[in-house]
Structures are given as C-alpha cells and as structure tokens.
C-alpha cells in the first residue's frame, strides 16, 4: 500500500473520508507532498462541505463585479479587489458595531448635522452600484463647512475609534475627514486628494490614516484616533475643500461645488472593517466562524506529525490575539496554532511546548503573507521566508477540530484566507522553505 501513496502524491486531497489519525506513521511511505487537506479560497465561491461556517448576521463584501454586496446570515464571503477584480479569498472578521446611524443618508437630520454645507441626496452611483451616494457642498458662508454626527459619548480614557467613509471627487478634488468631539484635546484630521489618494495629517495626531481605492473613482478614507479625555463626545465629520489646505478650511465656498460621499462608519478598534450599513439604529456585524470537526476532521488529520501551510492577509493588531488557524480539543489545554507574530504555538496539557516566530515576522497591514509550520515530538519548525526556525523539545497535544482564521476562545484573523493546506507528516525544512515561497 505504501507504494501507492508514493506514486500518487496528490491522492490525499481527494480522499476526505479515508481512515483516521491512527493510520499514519513516519514510515508509511507517504509522499512528502501528498496533502490530505487542500483548501483554495481563491478559485472557488463555495465552501467545501466539510467546513461548518456561521455568522449570526448579514455582512458586506466586494463581489466579483467590484461592487459592495451583502451576504446572508451564515453566508461565507468570498471577497474581491474592487479595482483589479482579483479574488482575495475567504473573509473572516471579528464582531464590530457601526456607531453611526443613517450611514449613507447624509441628508437625514438631525442625525447628520450640516454646518455651512448642503447635501444633495442620491446624486451619483455609490460603491454598491446604486444611485444612492450623496453630494456634500460648501456654502458661501466664510466659516467651517462640515457634515458630522455625534456617534457616542465615552467615559473611557484611551479608547481607539476608527472612522471611515467612501469619498469621490466631484467639482472639488479634496476633502478633510476627522474625529471631532470633546473626547479629544486636539481632534485628529487628515486631508485627502481624491484624484491620487494621497493623505496628510492636518490637525492632531491620528493613530493611522489611509485612502484605499474602491473603484470607479471612489476611495475609502480612514482615520483612527484615541481619546485623551476621560469623558466626552466622539463626532466624526467630513468637510469638502477646493484645495486641501487646512488653513483655508473656513474660506467661503461657492454653494455649488463639492464632493460625493457614501457609507460612513465609526467603530471601536484600530482599523476599519467591512462596511456595516445602518438606518435608524446602530448595527452589529457578528463574528465569522469556520471550523472542521468530527469525522470531517479525523479523516485527514495525523495526531503524531503534520505540516500546515497558510496564505492570506490580516489587518489585525491588538487584542484579541490574531489567529490564522487553531487545532484544539475545545479547550485551551490542547492546541496547535498561530498567535500574533508567532506562526507556531503548541500547547499540551496546558503547558507550552513550542512558541516560535519566523524572521521576518508576518505583517498585519493587509499585505499577503504565507508561512509553513510543522510539528512532531521534539521536532517543531516554522518559516515565512529565509531560514527555518526550530524547536527540538516538546510533546504533541490531542486535538479534535480545526478553526480557520480564528479560535473558540476569541482569537480572530480579521482578514482573508487564500489557501490552507495540511500534510499528514512533518516535512523537511527544505520542503517547508519551498512551500512558504
């Protein structure tokens, strides 16, 4: 039988129901490149039937046509780049709340307060392809021109908020966005060039900011700030500008020219997540969960040794921990997993057996990364690029399930899984390097 496996190295990927973990041994003759599980989320828009996927709310994503659309409750999201239309993989996100109401109805008062501005409703097609984006116009009053909403009153010093909004040039090619309110001593603001996407800090000290092309001339503009007052308001706002010069923000405008805007979101966290539409109340998007359990798991998993190859991206930093994958028994006592920059953590009997990080470490800025990790008693290894990092002491836990892009205890990817491949043996270090390229 061993000769069959060595002659047909890819056969494992098609035998999801064959055997169980007790049937493997290092001397079985299994081809080193014979994957027993191969999940490719770039080339499919349906999940393998062995995966259980849940999310208790609807959620948005970018479809293959580049437009924002909604996935049903418990519906997986296969996300695409809105400009190139290239697939990005399976989107896995944490729970978030959009604290703004009437998120794409800037004409709605009193929720959106217009100061020396006029909003023309439904002025152009938005990133969802519907003519529901508004136009923000500055009046001829020589004073601040802004459209803002008080999203929350916070009593917590040091809370980080991220405000994002989709903007597009109309007659004006510049805008300011910021987080106003009494919870900030110096409100963070940026200017954005809606032709190039260039951003620059104009006031305060944003934690971060960006303008990412959303296709058809739209940019999703984002600013993150941390409260420096123990109690106060958080009031995101948008301001049209003819020149992007902060010192000219109070100069009279012409009452006709402006910018287009759509899809505002304020959320607690250090980065923006997928758009959460709201109307009269705030809306929560639930966490995504993808797991493999029972015989769907034991049919391909080897309890004594194995290799994991993961590719994807993540924007997550901070708490909870970033997880690309986790094998466990439903507790924190038995784990094989990644954790933040550590691409292999092994816990047996609630005792850490291995905790190793590659160099360079995987990025958490939305950049695509890939790594390979392997486990076997007293023989652990992981690599992204370059040299393999090893640990030569430790035992192997007993696990019964796999979580993709998360864990039962709250760790989450907040990004995309492109591919996940499992080999039921500890591949050589040279093979790990080859697989991680």
Tens of pLDDT along 6-29? 332 333 333 333 333 333 333 333
Mean local confidence (pLDDT), 214-241 = 96
Tens of pLDDT along 241-293? 999 999 999 999 999 999 999 999 999 999 999 999 999 999 999 999 999 99
Q: Which residues contact 77 (CB under 8 A, 6 or more apart)?
A: 59, 60, 61, 71, 90, 91, 274, 288
Nearest CA-CA partner of 430 in 394, 392, 381: 381
Rg (CA), the chain: 25
Q: Are 407 and 323 in contact (CB under 8 A)?
A: yes
Q: Are 405 and 420 in contact (CB under 8 A)?
A: no
Tens of pLDDT along 102-123? 999 999 999 999 999 999 999 9
What is the CA angle 403-405-407, rounded to 5?
45
Give the per-residue pLDDT at 319.
66
Per-residue confidence at 409, pLDDT binned at 50, 70, 90? confident
Mean local confidence (pLDDT), 309-336 = 90
Q: CA 243 to CA 193: how far, in whole Å? A: 9
Tens of pLDDT along 164-221? 999 999 999 999 999 999 999 999 999 999 999 999 999 999 999 999 999 999 999 9
Q: CA 254 to CA 242: how far, in whole Å? A: 10
- Enter the CATH code of domain 97-285: 2.60.120.260
pTM above 0.75, yes or no: yes
Q: What is the DSSP string of 210-267?
A: EEEEEETTEEEEEEEEE--SSSEEEEEEEEEESS--GGGTTS---SS-EEEEEEEEEE
Q: CA 268 to CA 287: how far, in whole Å? A: 15
Which has more pLDDT, 308 or 364? 308
| Domain 2-56+288-435: top CATH class | mainly beta
Mean local confidence (pLDDT), 227-243 = 95
Q: CA 216 to CA 371: how far, in whole Å? A: 34
Q: Are 20 and 298 in contact (CB under 8 A)?
A: yes
Q: CA 154 to CA 158: how far, in whole Å? A: 10
Give the per-residue pLDDT at 6.
31
Q: CA 197 to CA 403: how far, in whole Å? A: 37
Q: How far are the Cα atoms of 64, 93, 136, 182, 419 from residue 86, in angstroms, in the given order?
A: 8, 20, 32, 42, 15
Domain boundaries along the sequence of the chain:
2-56+288-435, 97-285
Same fold, 2-56+288-435 and 97-285: yes
CA 323 to chain CA mean position, Å: 12
């Amino acid at each position: 039988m061993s000769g069959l496996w060595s002659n047909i190295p890819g056969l494992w990927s098609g035998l999801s129901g064959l055997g169980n973990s007790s049937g493997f041994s290092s001397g079985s003759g299994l081809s080193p490149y014979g994957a027993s599980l191969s999940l490719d989320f770039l080339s499919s828009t349906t999940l393998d039937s062995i995966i259980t996927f849940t999310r208790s709310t609807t959620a948005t994503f970018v479809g293959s046509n580049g437009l924002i659309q909604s996935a049903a409750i418990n519906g997986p999201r296969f996300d695409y780049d809105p400009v190139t239309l290239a697939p990005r993989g399976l989107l896995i996100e944490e729970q978030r709340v959009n604290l703004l109401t009437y998120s794409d109805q800037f004409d709605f008062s009193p929720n959106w307060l217009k100061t020396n501005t006029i909003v023309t409703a439904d002025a152009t097609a938005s990133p969802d392809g519907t003519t529901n984006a508004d136009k923000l116009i500055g009046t001829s009053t020589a004073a601040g021109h802004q459209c803002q909403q008080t999203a929350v009153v916070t009593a917590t010093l040091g809370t980080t908020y991220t405000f994002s909004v989709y903007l597009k040039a109309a007659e004006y090619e510049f805008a300011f966005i910021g987080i106003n309110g009494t919870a900030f001593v110096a409100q963070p603001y940026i200017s954005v060039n809606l032709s190039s996407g260039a951003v620059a800090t104009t006031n305060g000290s944003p934690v971060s900011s960006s303008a990412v092309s959303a296709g058809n001339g739209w940019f999703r503009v984002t600013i993150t700030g941390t409260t420096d007052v123990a109690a106060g308001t958080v009031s995101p706002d948008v301001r049209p500008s003819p020149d992007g010069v902060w010192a000219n923000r109070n100069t009279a405008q012409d009452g006709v020219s402006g910018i287009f805007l759509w899809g505002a979101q304020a959320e607690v966290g250090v980065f923006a997540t997928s758009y959460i539409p709201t109307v009269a109340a705030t809306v929560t998007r639930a966490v995504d969960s993808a797991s493999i359990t029972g015989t769907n798991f034991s049919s391909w998993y080897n309890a004594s040794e194995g290799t994991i190859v993961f590719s994807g991206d993540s924007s997550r930093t901070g708490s909870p921990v970033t997880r690309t994958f986790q094998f466990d028994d439903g507790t924190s006592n038995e784990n094989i997993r990644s954790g933040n920059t550590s691409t292999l953590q092994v816990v047996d009997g609630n005792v850490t057996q291995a905790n190793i990080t590659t160099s360079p470490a995987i990025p958490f800025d939305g950049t695509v990364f890939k790594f390979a990790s392997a486990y076997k008693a007293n023989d652990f290894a992981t690599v992204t690029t370059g040299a393999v990092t090893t640990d030569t002491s430790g035992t192997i836990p007993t696990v019964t399930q796999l979580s993709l892009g998360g864990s039962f205890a709250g760790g989450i990817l907040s990004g995309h899984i492109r591919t996940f491949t499992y080999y039921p043996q500890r591949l050589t270090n040279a093979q790990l390097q080859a697989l991680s390229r």
